[in-house]
Amino acid sequence: MKLLGADVIIECLKEQGVDTVFGYPGGQAIIIYDALYRARNEIKHILTSHEQGASHAADGYARATGRVGVCIATSGPGATNLVTGIATAYMDSVPMVAITGQVPTGLLGKDSFQEVDITGITMPITKHNFIVKDVRRLADTIRKAFAIAREGRPGPVLVDICKDVTATEVEYTPRIPDKNDYISNKYNEISSAELEEAIKAINRAERPVILSGAGVGIAGAEEEVRLLSELAGIPVSTSLMGMGTFPGTHELFMGMVGMHGTKTSNYAVHNCDLFIAIGNRFSDRIVSKVSSFAPNAGIMHIDVDSAEVGKNITVSYPLVGNIKDILQTLIKGVSPRKNTQWLDKIFKWKEEYPLKYDKSQEILRPQYIVERLYELTGGDAIITTEVGQHQMWAAQYYKYTRFRQFVSSGGLGTMGYGLGACIGAQLGRPDKKVINIAGDGSFRMNLNELATAVEYKLPIIIALFNNRALGMVRQWQELFYDSRFSQTSIDRGTNFKALAEAFGAKGIDVSQPEQVDAAIKAALAETHTPVLINFEIDKDDKVFPIVPPGAGINEVVDS
């Protein structure tokens, strides 16, 4: 059948099972939006307040559901406003397809109105990108984009489409998606000798440690990690992005590792004789000082992406391929053991060095707020965050028991991420309560998306940790720069409760510990209205533990 290019885009989205897209219209995308109007009963379009909000919402939707998130923008500034969100998704391996309008093919390269080379701009921050100048290639390009976004290590793909392509008729043939379309779906072949060496290393290790990263959750291998841990008596830490890939309530869980990891996790890594990293890229926030990271251990790295293996840390046992399949093979060969002496040491550290804060209840503490959020939600909420101190408190004090429960910008550290992501997560998972734990500095950056949450009657909660400062930078200035507080005070007199109400949301002020439970319960009771709880916390509250810059992770301090 003959369809306009714009309608082909919509039909391809439907082929891929897309039911929700996030975006903002404009001149070069107007024909796409006309097609969306015709398909309004089949695809829900969420009109955000800014294109960056659309990209973060698509990201949050993808992280919370495991499906490909989709965002749409027009050319020029519309497209460039997506860039931060695309980079955020790229750094954290989030499957996303960003569709941008482009000037007509005859105007390309002429500095036309709202023309930018968005494929050139996004080349370093996408798995792949396309510019479509021929309508006959449009359908296959859209299909390839989704296949690439999902394949192996997921990531964002951009499809830039010239306006005349969207306005041209073409013969369209419907197609039922096949997971093998356009991609090989073949993983690296691991030799039996490599697997045997890895199994021997695990069986002879006396002090093994597992680091479970986001790749575990992406591969659906959480159960395999738990089985390996319990079978061989191996304690487990997670990365920030790996939260929930191993239950935070499990006795073998040690907490997060690295710069703001627990002392138990960091001491265990420093003293282990085998470090098993699964679905993790050894970022600087985990490793800190390379020369003192797991100095007496053999390093085993299990990952789908060969480019990550050996990139930051020398690896003794590289296993590149499908994480789930590799772990199942290892489990078959590993001998059951209790590892009593090593685990006794771990349990002793957990008892001696728990996460701690002043619980005197004299002032409102952010750690206490997160603990109450955990208790009052039964540990079942999806938590999104902005970036800063509050992000670390959310990681440390909420016990995550499943992957896709913690949604946060890890690799890029994008302030302003959380609210858009919260909206996307709530739309993707309407069956869950979604809470955005935010700092006032990050929240200011994209707070206009409150209007989006109100418009679509989303019962999200914004737990605003308001310390009137850029808290994490201020903490570093105090600890490492002799308290030279340069440009980190943002005490601008903003009334966040009134601000929320101006948007049509509900606002609650909390300044005392005894007010916390009532505020959270009131927010949880809302079913169609966003609620912002303005928690007034002290600007001098700090995130501990912390590894000082240049130190090894074993040099972690907790006060």
| Look-up of token digits 């004090």 | 397
Q: 294: which residues sit within 8 A by CB, 6+ positions away? A: 209, 269, 270, 272, 275
Integer CA distances (angstroms), 502 to 366, 369, 447, in order:
26, 25, 12
* Set 127, 163, 497, 506: catalytic member: 163
Query: In the chain, what's the furthest Cα-to-Cα distance?
Result: 72
- Give the whole-angstrom CA distance, residue 319 versus residue 73: 40
Cβ pair 238, 211 in contact under 8 A: yes
Instruction: Please indicate whether residue 341 is annotated as part of the active site.
Output: no
**E-strand spans in 30-174?**
44-47, 69-73, 96-102, 128-132, 156-162, 169-171
- Give the whole-angstrom CA distance, residue 484 versus residue 475: 10
Q: For residue 468, how many C-alpha atoms fall within 13 Å in the half-sphere facing its CB?
A: 10
Instruction: Please indicate whether residue 300 is annotated as part of the active site.
Output: no
* Set 91, 243, 259, 472: catalytic member: 472
Cβ pair 423, 69 in contact under 8 A: no
Straight-line distance from the first to the last Cα atom of the chain, in angstroms, rounded to the nearest whole number: 68
80 burial level (CB within 10 Å; 0-12, 13-18, 19+): middle
Cβ pair 156, 71 in contact under 8 A: no
Instruction: Please indicate whether residue 163 is annotated as part of the active site.
Output: yes
Q: What DSSP character marks residue 21?
A: E
* DSSP three-state, residue 92: coil
Instruction: Please indicate whether residue 186 is annotated as part of the active site.
Output: no
* Set 14, 15, 114, 478: catalytic member: 114
Q: Where are the alpha helices (DSSP H) in 288-339?
A: 323-333
**E-strand spans in 88-199?**
96-102, 128-132, 156-162, 169-171
HEC per residue, 427-487: HHCCCCCEEEEEEHHHHHHCHHHHHHHHHCCCCCEEEEEECCECHHHHHHHHHHCCCCCCC
* Set 113, 206, 501, 512: catalytic member: 113
Instruction: Please indicate whether residue 114 is annotated as part of the active site.
Output: yes
- Give the whole-angstrom CA distance, residue 360 versus residue 235: 32
In one-letter notation, the amino acid at residue 357 is Y
Cβ pair 57, 421 in contact under 8 A: yes
Cβ pair 375, 239 in contact under 8 A: no
Cα–Cα nearest to 534, from 396, 369, 371: 369
43 burial level (CB within 10 Å; 0-12, 13-18, 19+): middle
- Give the whole-angstrom CA distance, residue 375 versus residue 164: 55
| Look-up of token digits 């891929």 | 16
* Set 16, 22, 51, 389: catalytic member: 51
Ramachandran region, residue 76 (left: φ > 0; alpha: ψ -120 to 50; beta: rest): left
User: Catalytic amino acids?
Assistant: 51, 113-114, 163, 472
